[in-house]
Amino acid sequence: MLKEIKMNEIENVKIGHAQDPEGATGCTVILCEKGAPTGVDVRGGGPASRESALLNPTAANDGVHAVVLSGGSAFGLDAAGGVMRYLAERHIGFPVGDLVVPIVCQSCIFDLQLQANVHPDQEMAYEACRNAEKNCPAQGNVGAGTGATVGKLLGGAGMMKSGLGIYAVSLGELKMGAVVSVNALGDIYDFQTNEKLAGLLDPETGAFLDSEEMMYQMQEELSMQPHANTTIGAVITNGRFTKTQLTKIASMAHNGYARSIRPVHTTADGDTIYAMSVGDVEADLNVAGTLAARVIAEAVKQAVLAAEPAYGLKTAREMKQR
């Protein structure tokens, strides 16, 4: 039977956040000190990423030691250096003679519309690693979700505050969890009830607008839309899978985005999902991929429901109370 569990019930992985609430940005670090075979699937047209080529099934790499999810757009990619320093100090990494080289992948959201001059750096990422030692990650306006927003078809007018969501389940011995920073161009729906939770608001009335319908109406103006969005996340399982299989799981996990975000995977988004194996439980690939889509959809839901009002933006919980 499918059972909801806490993310820290998945062994061999630790998650930590660090953020600058005033600067409206932050980072989330997923540490796998024993190394984790990892695949990735990038669907959006505007990703900011680091070391993603290593995750190609034809590349020699067979495990990463950390995945970083952060704000800051391309500026934020510098944060991975702090994670490398943290791991190298503990002699964790790929051995090269007397040295070790930690393998750290990273993806960033675009949160610069809230504070263009602040972005995650190496010190913030190092702090996130230290916080991961407690392995009790929060949700909402933390880490990579600090500056996350949704409903941005009209730019900053009418967008809402989003955040970072976490969700995990077990199916017998198989465990699957997801960590997602939701910073989407589109609207967010409850994938089970089809209720709209967050998204584009009418700047005058504060009522929901339909981003998909607005997109059709604005087709001649859409070429002007900036690449200022991205939903990034990772699914983590104790199932034993190869990098090639994990690439397929990451691909199937994107179905969770599609169930929850409309529109999704546009050229104005950089939508990315990592899939990481941290255990040795025998599991069916199709079951794992289907389960990955479910936990991603749940984590997207949690990301908007856990968000708190900030930067003058409304939240899903406020809209539900209207």
Encode pLDDT of 269-317 as tens digits. Answer: 889 999 999 999 999 999 999 999 999 999 999 999 999 999 999 999 9
Q: How far apart are CA 32 and CA 254, in angstroms?
A: 22
Residue 30 has pLDDT above 50, yes or no: yes
User: In which residue are the tokens 């809402």 written?
Assistant: 160
182 pLDDT band, cuts 50/70/90, is very high
- Tell me the pTM: 0.96
Instruction: Tell me the average pLDDT across 200-217.
Output: 92
Smallest CA-to-CA distance from 17 within 128, 117, 141 is with 128
Coarse DSSP helix, strand, coil percentages of the chain, rounded to the nearest 5 percent: 30, 30, 40
Residue 225 has pLDDT above 60, yes or no: no
226 pLDDT band, cuts 50/70/90, is low
41 pLDDT band, cuts 50/70/90, is very high
Q: Which distant-in-sequence residues (6+ apart) come within 8 Å of 263 by Cβ?
A: 185, 186, 211, 212, 215
Residues 143-170 have pLDDT tens digits of 999 999 999 988 888 999 999 999 999 9
Portion of the chain with pLDDT greater than 90, in percent: 84
Q: What is the pLDDT of residue 46?
A: 76
Q: How far apart are CA 248 and CA 289, in angstroms?
A: 7
Angle at which helices 285-305 and 243-260 pack, to 10 degrees? Answer: 40
Q: b/e string for 162-182 if b means 16 or more Cβ within 10 A?
A: bbbbbbbbbbeebbbbbbbbb
Portion of the chain with pLDDT greater than 70, in percent: 97
Smallest CA-to-CA distance from 69 within 224, 225, 202, 231 is with 231
Q: How far apart are CA 87 and CA 101, in angstroms?
A: 9
Return mean pLDDT, the chain.
94
Instruction: Tell me the average pLDDT across 106-124.
Output: 93
Residue type, 303: A
Instruction: Tell me the average pLDDT across 171-189.
Output: 97
Q: What is the pLDDT of residue 217?
A: 84
Q: What is the pLDDT of residue 218?
A: 79
Residue 135 has pLDDT above 50, yes or no: yes
Instruction: Tell me the average pLDDT across 246-262.
Output: 98
Q: Partners of 66 in the beta sheet?
A: 31, 104
- Kindly list the distances between the CA atom of residue 61 and the CA atoms of 31, 51, 58, 146, 258, in Å, as whole numbers in the listed order: 17, 11, 9, 31, 30
**What is the Cα 310 distance to its own chain's centre?**
20
Q: Please, what's the largest Cα pairwise distance for the chain?
A: 64
User: In which residue are the tokens 């967050």 written?
Assistant: 198
224 pLDDT band, cuts 50/70/90, is very low
112 pLDDT band, cuts 50/70/90, is very high
